[in-house]
Amino acid sequence: MSFKVPEDILICHEESKAKAFVEKVWGKRPTFICVIGNTETAKIPGISAAGAVPAITDFTPAADIELLYYGRCKCIDGVPVTPNGIPTPALVTMSAIGLTGMPFYAANGGVRVRPHAPYFELEGYPGEDIKNGAAVKDPKRVFENAIIAGENLAKVSDYLVVGESIAGGTTTALAVLLAMGYNADGKVSSTLSENPHSLKSAIAKEGISKSKSTPDQMKRDAMLAVAAVGDPMMPAAAGLIVGAARKVPVILAGGTQMAAVLAIVKAMEPKALDNVALGTTRWIIRDPTADLVGIVKQIGHVPVLAANLDFSPTKHEGLTFYEKGLVKEGVGAGGISIAAFCQSKGAITSKSMFAEIEKNYVKIMALAKH
């Protein structure tokens, strides 16, 4: 009997490769690693909703990691929310970790605020505002450190799931994709309901024009593109993926930010693309303001999968916003959900994930009130 991908996993691109990928990881035990970073770009008004106010976006990645490890945050009171009170997608990730007992690590690509929790240090620095064209210091060093960590993680895991938490990350994703010559304008997602495409595009183009590297140099060398207009999550995630993909499959867990990482991976080690899939949420795929698959198609024949998460039955206001297209993805929410479905051979479903998410929502919102 041939293998059948469950309905909870939507196949969005490269159907036969996608099926083969799901079959390859079915019943296997993954390790999840979440790469964190900060970029000053997040503080430009109107760019990010990953924090109640722009200044607090520095705390969001550290708070996400603490939530995953402890079920509560230490570096902030409550939990990360958008200005209108939508909880962080780490809520989905913590639910997947809780249901599976999946081993989980954090990796520091470059943060201003460090989590009160263990994490891989990779010698990165917090990112500057990409408008100035000099955003990330020495991305090559972080990339190389991350390769070593990825190779070692691959030795003890059937496969790796790499997520991210960095506010402002879709703007830097757009900028890096543009700098590398991809047609990404109007295609990246946003935490906000009104996707500020023209603002993002203006910032990205200003940064590219101010870079000391020429457009041709940035097209040829992904590390120059990252150094100019990227963010510190990117070289860390790309290195982990390249290192691990030499031995085991890797799910790039994220939306359009992970598409930018995919482009970097391709530039640094093209054959890594044979061993990866992009895993995201239904909300990203259904996002009318973005086009993830349209970006991935330009990069290569890489499967795109989406967890068919559905919050529409919820009575909790904070969760209804996900169905309205806000937040949608982050902290590896989509990819780790797919991994949870696969590890449990379908015993964990979208429905049981939703029940766990609602339970955790009540718990973390109770914390937020105290």
Which residues of the shown chain bind a copy of itself in the complex (CB under 8 A)?
29, 31, 69, 101-105, 107-108, 114, 116-123, 141, 145-146, 148-149, 152-153, 155-157
Dist CA 90 CA 87 (whole Å): 8
In whole angstroms, how close is the CB of 120 to a copy of itself at the nearest point? 5
Minimum distance of a copy of itself from residue 117's CB (angstroms): 6
- Sequence-separated (6 or more) residues with CB below 8 Å from residue 229: 130, 133, 135, 172, 175, 176, 178, 179, 204, 207, 208, 211
Residue 164 phi/psi, 5° resolution?
A: -145, 155
> Which residue, 29 or 316, is less far from a copy of itself as judged by CB?
29
Give the nearest distance from C-beta 115 to a copy of itself in angstroms: 9
Token reading at 174? 């757009």
Cα separation of 88 and 233, whole Å? Answer: 18
Contacts for 143 with CB less than 8 Å, ≥ 6 apart: 223, 235, 236, 238, 239, 242, 268
Q: What minimum distance in Å lies between the beta carbon of 4 and a copy of itself?
A: 28
Find the angle CA(158)-CA(164)-CA(168) to the nearest 5 degrees: 165
- Which residues are within 8 A (CB) of 163 and not within 5 positions of it... i.e. 6 or more apart? 32, 33, 34, 35, 93, 253, 254, 330, 331, 332, 333, 335, 336
**Identity of the residue, 138 or 310, whose beta carbon is nearer to a copy of itself in the bound complex:** 138
Least distance between a copy of itself and beta carbon 339 (Å) = 14
Specify burial of residue 14 (Cβ count, 10 A radius: 0-12, 13-18, 19+). Answer: buried
DSSP 129: P
Q: How far is CA 26 from CA 271, 274, 345, in A?
A: 23, 18, 6
Tracing tokens 């036969």 back to the chain, one arrives at 16
Question: Shortest distance, CB of residue 356 to a copy of itself, whole angstroms?
Answer: 19
Q: Which of 48, 66, 51, 42 is nearest to 128 (CA)?
A: 42
Cβ nearer to a copy of itself, comparing 153 with 339: 153
Question: Which helix H or strand E contains 37, and what residues bound it?
Answer: strand 30-37
Closest distance between a copy of itself and the C-beta of residue 296, in Å?
A: 28
Pick between residue 146 and residue 357 the one whose CB is nearest to a copy of itself. 146
- Output 69 or 322, the one with its CB closest to a copy of itself: 69
Compare residues 98 and 103 and give the one whose CB is closer to a copy of itself. Answer: 103
Query: Nearer to a copy of itself by C-beta: 45 or 101?
Result: 101
User: Is beta strand 9-13 parallel, antiparallel or unpaired with respect to 304-307?
Assistant: antiparallel
Cβ 156 to a copy of itself shortest distance, Å? 4
Q: Which is nearer to a copy of itself, 136 or 248 (CB)?
A: 248
